[in-house]
């Protein structure tokens, strides 16, 4: 089903690419065989070199990135999978997080998505099938630093679960992380594609986290994604199965009436789930690199992202003005704390000054939050 025909209240369980590109030799990999069998009705085309294919696909397309959501390429990743989270920027407090990029691009089409700029010349969704190489690399690194606690995420350049029924990375990752003594896997998603998680017997060392926003913002800015209720139902099912779960209120978007919208969001979350059992809630305000603004305006002319003023921070990204960010964090943090004083709440990609304004401390002086920021 083409991405641009899907309404925001529908899930993409039935998503299929229009074409499946196969790098020469990938069909030897078990994951590629699995994907090919799951997409047996989708036309296939072999390619030798992904950069040549990319150049061919780019030519003469206006919305290269958007059109790329309908093509899936299976490839091998040549290089090191494990990277430190790019949240480490001048002046920003970072949560010591590692990322592995198994996949690039996303079937959803959020207006604020930084991939529109970062992957603007990538005319397809790429899934790397050499997961065995990833596991060897992780095993080596975890063994080399036995005293370090690794928090590893797969959702930097894609949604961790949106394609999991087609490209079932979790079938390999969950059993691997179950066995680790110094690492947890964080799957970050807006999806409700949790069948593989519910079918897996062991939730040890797995955290599943959902990005949440008020439904009015989901409708306007998060095209193709499951609605709030579907995300929360998925979160509840994972919690019941024994998985640790977290929520990201990110990006917080300050539409007119945001106070009431986020109050209702907090109420809906807390009325759906036992909030005391949630590992953390992170808060992050809408931010963007300058080049992204015109791309957003072109691809999403109806967006409400730019109704307020934004100024550049030390890391070069534009954000709401500091007093407004403070007010938003304090207000939403207040709503959450009124439902649970014990809840771990942290700020994502924020300055030390904002941390201090909002919480009265930096994460290094807060024992409760140290677990997320410790190396
Ligand atoms: S779900 Fe995440 S990766 Fe996918 S389009 Fe939205 S912001 Fe981008």
pLDDT digits (tens, 9 = 90+) for 5-45: 333 333 445 789 999 999 999 999 999 999 999 999 999 99
- Across the range 284-288, mean pLDDT stands at 95
Residue nearest to atom 7 of ligand 1 (CA): 113
**How is residue 176 written in tokens?**
């691997």
Out of 120, 158, 210, give the residue to mutate to test ligand 1, the one with the largest number of ligand atoms within 8 Å of its CB: 158
Q: What is the pLDDT of residue 7?
A: 36
Out of 115, 153, 295, give the residue to mutate to test ligand 1, the one with the largest number of ligand atoms within 8 Å of its CB: 115
The residue extents of the domains of the chain are 79-105+130-373
**Residue 126 predicted with pLDDT over 90:** yes
**Residue 4 predicted with pLDDT over 50:** no
**How is residue 206 written in tokens?**
């797995």
pLDDT tens profile 46-98: 999 888 888 888 876 778 888 899 999 999 999 899 887 765 555 555 555 78
Higher per-residue pLDDT: 4 or 301 = 301
If one looks up domain 79-105+130-373 in CATH, what number appears? 3.80.30.30
Preceding amide of 251 cis, omega within 30: yes
Burial 8-41 (b: 16+ CB within 10 A, else e): beebbeebbbeebbbbeebeebebbebbbeebee
Least confident of 75-84, 252-261, 280-289: 75-84
């Amino acid at each position: 089903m083409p991405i641009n025909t899907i309404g925001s209240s529908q899930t993409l369980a039935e998503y299929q690419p229009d074409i499946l590109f196969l790098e020469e030799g990938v069909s030897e990999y078990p994951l590629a065989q699995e994907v090919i069998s799951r997409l047996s009705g989708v036309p296939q085309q072999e390619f030798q070199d992904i950069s040549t294919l990319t150049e061919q696909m780019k030519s003469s397309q206006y919305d290269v990135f958007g059109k790329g959501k309908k093509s899936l390429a299976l490839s091998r990743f040549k290089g090191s999978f494990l990277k430190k989270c790019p949240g480490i920027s001048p002046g920003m407090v970072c949560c010591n997080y590692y990322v592995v990029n198994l996949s690039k691009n996303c079937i959803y089409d959020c207006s604020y998505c930084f991939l529109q700029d970062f992957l603007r010349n990538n005319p397809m969704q790429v899934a790397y099938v050499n997961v065995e190489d990833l596991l060897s690399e992780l095993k080596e690194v975890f063994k080399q630093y036995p005293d370090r606690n690794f928090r590893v995420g797969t959702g930097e350049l894609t949604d961790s679960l949106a394609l999991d029924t087609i490209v079932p990375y979790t079938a390999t990752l969950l059993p691997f992380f179950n066995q680790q003594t110094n690492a947890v896997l964080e799957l970050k998603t807006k999806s409700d594609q949790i069948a593989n998680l519910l079918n897996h017997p062991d939730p040890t060392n797995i955290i599943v986290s959902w990005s949440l926003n008020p439904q009015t913002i989901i409708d306007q800015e998060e095209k193709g994604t499951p609605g709030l209720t579907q995300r929360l139902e998925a979160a509840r099912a994972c919690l019941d199965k024994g998985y640790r779960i977290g929520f990201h209120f990110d990006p917080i978007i300050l539409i007119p009436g945001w106070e009431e919208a986020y109050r209702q969001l907090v109420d809906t979350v807390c009325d759906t789930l036992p909030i005391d059992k949630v590992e953390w809630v992170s808060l992050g305000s809408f931010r963007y690199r300058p080049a992204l603004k015109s791309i957003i305006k072109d691809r999403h002319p109806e967006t409400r992202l730019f109704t307020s003023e934004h100024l550049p921070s030390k890391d070069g990204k534009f954000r709401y003005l500091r007093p407004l960010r403070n007010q938003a964090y304090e207000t939403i943090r207040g709503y959450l704390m009124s439902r649970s004083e014990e809840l771990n709440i942290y700020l994502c990609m924020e300055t030390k000054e904002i941390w201090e304004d909002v919480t009265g401390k930096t994460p290094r002086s807060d024992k409760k939050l140290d677990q997320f920021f410790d190396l």
